[in-house]
Structure 1
Amino acid sequence: MTELLARAEGRFDELIKDIEALVRLESPSDDLEAVGRSADLVAEIGERYLGSAPERVEVDGRPHLVWRLGDGPRRVIVLAHHDTVWPIGSWGPDPWSFTDGVIRGPGCFDMITGIVQALLGMRLLIEDGVSLDGVTLLVTADEEVGSKTSRSLIESEAAGCRAAFVLEASGPGGALKIERKGTSDYQININGRAAHAGLEPEKGINAGVELAHQLLAINELGDSDLGTTVTPTVLSAGTTTNTVPAKAMIKVDCRVRSAAEQQRVDHDMHALQAVLPGAELIIEGGPNRPPLPASAATALFDRAQQLATDAGLDPLQSMAVGGASDGNFTAGIGVPTLDGLGAVGGGAHADDEHVEADKIPARTALLALLIKDQLVSRGTLDQQ
């Protein structure tokens, strides 16, 4: 056991209390008052670990927290988010549980535990006398709803960094995430014409029938060989049972592995044409997050594997996933990005969300080693 891991284990009880406080507070993305309270608590806990208060950047009522350590050029960005998906009360009157070494509660896995791991990892380096000059910790407030108010902040803070470390929850068994698909979101509004379904349906333009035609067309836009999925998700049409539908709507989720495929699907989506004479399509949306290709992560993962081996930590695994994160944005601007460094557990967004608490110290130590390694290799620390 390395000295760094031993010290992380020595802070275990403190770390658990901070995770508990954040989980109990609850912070669903769509509840701005709850997200505001969560930001207050993250700032308070973070100041205790890092010795400084963050800058609070509010955009459209969403509080993002930025710790810029030191005055030097930015070298490393550590990314996390404090918003979660569960409406308050979803887990009952007491959302927190810690039994038999397993933490349960809304957002514990995605990604409250990752925030506290990041704070402790950075604290351990400070206590070792490591200067974190050039390190930025950014904790955003809208990752679960598309990062629309934080994207520009993420990209500006990451610009010029040598590495981005993302504290999203790990894959199964603790796997780090070295590839994520890019995402696009669309909404197709269909305008037809209403008519009485019994007396004169021929005078109507059935938006529901047009919806059916568009579903079949959209279904052909995916490419399984390239890993591209184009999935109609939310559908609606009509108002009453005896009226030809005048309006219909389709929402579409798209996932791609390459920027070229993202552009191709975007072109094809906006090129859709109505089939029924007189029907009208209004197509909204487009790319949300660019892909995080394996090429953006492989070198960092290999280095993480070496650091873990040298420190006597368990061997690391890696995986590609379809879900996106804020790491897609850092990779999209050319910053090497390693994701999935947060909690080990499972059940993200599900009622069995949980964290394996005994894995927390090793993940904390790994992040600390990665940050220090980037600073050393950039020449901002004396070789030790």
Structure 2
Amino acid sequence: MIRPPLPPHANPDAALLTCCEEAEERVLELTERLVNMDSGTDDLPGLERKAHVLADIFRSLGANSVELREAPEPRRGTYNVVAVFKGTGRARVLMLTHYDTVFPAGEAARRPFRREGDMAYGPGVADMQSSIALLIAAVEILHNKLGQRNYDTLTIHCNADEETGSYGSRALIRELGRSHHVSYNMEQSGREGELITISGRGIAKGTLAVTGIASHAGGGPEKGRNAGYELAHQLLQLRDLSRPEIRTGVHWTMGSFGHKLNVIPDHAEAFADIRVTRVDEFDRIRATIEERIKNRLIPDCRVEFDMDISVLPFQNDPVTLSLAEKVVAFTERELGRRLGFRHANGGNDTSHCAQVCPSLDGFGLGCLDNHSPNEALPLATIVPRLYILLRTWQETFAGRMLNLGEQDSPR
């Protein structure tokens, strides 16, 4: 495979780089195997098959324990795969992955894994089947090629419902996070593998409900109180809640009122997509809305607001930033390339884990056209991102990413 040469000022660990280059085909072999197995979030039989395949792979790698933990409701019938490797050092590192995709059953047969030029294609190839393959190859190199086990615990968690919010795995993710010094997530690293993710927005659903009084539109409209009119009034006075300067977004995206043509509607509702980078923004938005809805167009209508927070923000606090800066520093020094910082628009499993332990995201491979039939993996990202993951582990195990003594207790 043709790879761009390293810049003249690069100073890599030559032995490690060679291991990564030799593992490139192994990553692609594993990726092909995983891509060609359906595992859409709603495809329970496909998810169970892949869970067992992953468990068998981790057992073959010598994991001290491998568990398939059934998810609670509403995801009962799906499984979190948890593989634990024990070593001789101090660091306890948690790796986060997900093996579900957004594609339906049968998609793997319709669009199997294929390589064309410098890209690979297939359902879930970049999000994140190839990144699971990368992680497996990294464990093989660490143990079999480098002979390194200078960690206390290396835990790999693979969940089956990240694409729909991790409702069947978020509690387990937090539980695992509390017993580890740090978590690293294998989510994608940009179009060319050039990014490390230092923050992700929290997500909430806002519901605005209006109750009016129904009446006959032809025989007594004046007896009614039109919930649709009141909803329109409320939406107009709630349209400016976003704060782009701090990446807060509040967008009313769905709504409805009325169910019969000849009836003044007595109920109306609208829903908002709410995304924030700071937890206190949820409080500001709620307080602002609750104050503004007191101003009503139709006094006899009742207006209520509710907010359901599904994901807390993954914030780029000083610990996160320090972790990221260290990855950027050794990558620039050794590979001659400078990683940029990515601020994710949505949340993922890092958002759950970051509430209980230091976390960093974006250790996976490059990704183009995520979640589409054209989703692609840039092959040139395999070797450098494999190198970056292994060097991150080495620096973490040596206590140079964070002070292991200070992180013996959860945040």
Q: 1:332-343 alignment to 2 at 5 Å? A: 332-333=355-356, 335-343=357-365
Cα distance in 1 for residues equivalent to 2:384 and 2:225: 62
* 1:128-277 equivalences in 2 (<5 Å): 128-131=146-149, 132-174=151-193, 175-269=195-289, 273=293, 275=296, 276-277=298-299
Is the CA contact (8 Å cut-off) linking 1:78 and 1:136 kept in structure 2? Answer: yes
Corresponding residue of 1:359: 381
Structure 1 residues 86-113: Cα deviation after superposition (integer angstroms, max 9, x where no partner): 2334687234332113112222222221
Provide the aligned C-alpha RMSD in A: 2.6
Q: What is the TM-score normalised by the length of structure 1? A: 0.88
Equivalent residue letter for 1:341: F
Change over 3 Å in CA distance of 1:50–1:176 after alignment to 2: farther
- On the 8 A contact 2:208/2:305 being kept in 1, the answer is yes
Q: Secondary structure at the match of 2:183?
A: strand
Residue 223 of structure 1: how far off its partner (Å): 2.0
Q: Matched residues in 2 for 1:279 and 1:96: separation?
A: 56
Most deviating of 262-271 and 166-175: 262-271
2:39 aligned partner, one-letter code:
S
Identify the residue that residue 66 of structure 1 maps to in structure 2.
82
Q: Which residue of 2 aligns with 1:104?
A: 121
Cα–Cα, structure 1 residues 154 and 206, in superposed 2: closer, same or farther, change >3 Å?
A: same
Aligned to 2:96: 79
Structure 2 residue aligned with 1:56, among 58, 68, 72?
A: 68
Shift of 1:359: 1.2
Are the equivalent residues in 1 in contact too, given 2:215–2:223 (CA < 8 A)?
yes
1:239-318 to 2 correspondences below 5 Å:
239-269=259-289, 273=293, 275=296, 276-295=298-317, 296-312=319-335, 314-318=337-341
State TM-score, norm by structure 2. Answer: 0.83
- Identity rate of aligned residues, in percent? 28
What's the offset of the Cα at 1:282? 4.8
Is this contact kept in 2: 1:266–1:286, CA < 8 A?
no
Q: Quick check: 352-361 or 67-76, which moved more?
A: 67-76
1:277 Cα offset (Å): 3.5
- Alignment-mate amino acid for residue 173 of structure 2: I
Counterpart amino acid of residue 202 in structure 2: G
1:317 CA drift (Å): 2.0
- 1:354, distance to aligned residue in structure 2 (A): 0.9
Which residue of structure 1 lines up, in the alignment, with residue 47 of structure 2?
Answer: 35
Match for 2:266: what amino acid? A
Question: Who is 2:407 aligned against?
Answer: none
Residue type of the alignment partner of 2:355: G
**Contact 1:50 1:122 (8 Å CA) reproduced:** no
CA contact (8 A) 2:127 2:367 kept: no
Q: Structure 1 residues 271 and 353 mapped into 2: Cα distance closer, same or farther (>3 Å)?
A: farther
Distance 1:271 1:172, change over 3 A: farther
Give 1:223's aligned amino acid.
R
In the superposition, relative to structure 1, how do residues 22 and 195 fare at CA in structure 2: closer, same or farther (>3 Å)? farther
The number of residues matched between the two structures is: 379
In the alignment, is the contact (CA less than 8 A) between 1:43 and 1:53 conserved in 2?
no
- Whether the aligned pair in 2 keeps the contact of 1:109 and 1:347 (CA below 8 Å) is no
Distance 2:60 2:81 in 1: 15
Secondary structure of residue in 2 paired with 1:111: helix
Matched-pair contact (CA < 8 Å) for 1:49–1:120: no
Alpha-carbon distance in 1 for matches of 2:33, 2:363? 21
How far apart, in 2, do the equivalents of 1:366 and 1:310 lie?
Answer: 12
Structure-2 change in CA distance of 1:25 and 1:340 (3 Å): same
Distance 1:88 1:198, change over 3 A: farther
